[in-house]
Amino acid sequence: MLVVTGVTSLTLNDGTAKKHLGVRAPRGSKWWSLANLGELSSGLRAPVKQLYNNPSLLPLTKRQRRLVTKNPGTVMAVVSGARMAIEECKHQFRNRRWNCPTKFENHRRSIFGKILQKGCRETAFVYSITSAAVAYSVARACAEGGVSSCSCDARVHQRPAGEGWEWSGCSDNARFGHKFSRKFVDILEKGRDFRYMINLHNNEVGRVHVSNSLEKRCKCHGMSGSCSIKTCWMMLPNFRRIGAKLKDKFDGASQVLPALLAFDVV
């Protein structure tokens, strides 16, 4: 369940309202502007290529820079994830009054504008979809050989296979993607501040939906397509499906009081 808070927060159970003051501008969201970075290709201008190769030039925190430096290839995955999140947000809200508008004019401000200063359902969705997109993009990049510190998820093949099929192929590394996203995205949501604890919860909702979306894909082998044996692996679906699931969570999002954070909100 996505949860939200703001100037007016509602309990999960009885819907009674209570004022909650002290809304702040979001922290740790500058990396979202990486979506505006040019595609890395042979025809890319040299200054933009340098941005990919030198994390110190990117709108990242020191800890984020250390993380992407430790895991070469993740900058491209994060950029891809940021683009993916924005595209999915715009798609899911295309028929809404708030249709996920973005501005890339100022790195000091969120590309999603002032709406993130409010504790509303849209804020909850933005945090969950961006966190999910990073986890998804990194998981796929690992399987495709784009990140040097990870590869296919070999742990999947340790599970018992079924009758007539066996584990093989390259499974998307959702485990590594989840871990990387948590370290990269949650990096500035610190302390016991009510607002930031809600952000952390919604970040995790996005990541969990990615991990839970893994599907078994199989390929037949045998003479003349007899499919005498099948080899299978785990693969993430199109990100559109994950976005749709998170949109369903958005429609059922709950507002909470600070005191309720002593309990699990799922």
Task: Among 21-35, 123-137, 215-229, name the one with the lowest average pLDDT.
Answer: 21-35
Query: In the chain, what percentage of residues exceed pLDDT 90?
Result: 43
Residue 111: what pLDDT?
82
**Does the pLDDT at position 120 exceed 70?**
yes
Q: The whole model's pTM is what? A: 0.82
**Tokens of residue 196, six digits:** 């930031």
**Does the pLDDT at position 20 exceed 60?**
no
CA distance 71 to 52: 13
Higher local confidence (pLDDT), 25 or 142? 142
**Does the pLDDT at position 8 exceed 70?**
no
Higher local confidence (pLDDT), 51 or 158? 158
Residue 46: what pLDDT?
44
Among 18-27, 101-110, 130-139, 220-229, which range has the highest average pLDDT? 130-139
Residue 180: what pLDDT?
98
Query: In the chain, what percentage of residues exceed pLDDT 70?
Result: 74
**Does the pLDDT at position 261 exceed 50?**
no
* Secondary structure class of 258 (helix, strand, coil): helix
Residue 4: what pLDDT?
54
Residue 129: what pLDDT?
96
Cβ atoms within 10 Å, residue 87: 17
* Secondary structure class of 167 (helix, strand, coil): strand
For residue 12, report the phi and psi dihedrals to the nearest 5 degrees.
-70, -30
Pair 158, 166: CB distance under 8 Å: no
Residue 191: what pLDDT?
66
**Tokens of residue 29, six digits:** 């969201």
Calculate the average pLDDT of the chain. 79
List C-alpha distances in Å: 51 to 34, 56, 79, 178. 10, 8, 11, 25
Cα 142 vs. chain centroid, distance in angstroms? 15
**Does the pLDDT at position 106 exceed 50?**
yes
Mean of pLDDT values over 14-21? 33
Residue 1: what pLDDT?
62
**Does the pLDDT at position 133 exceed 90?**
yes
Residue 3: what pLDDT?
54
Closest CA to 206 of 111, 99, 263, 130: 130
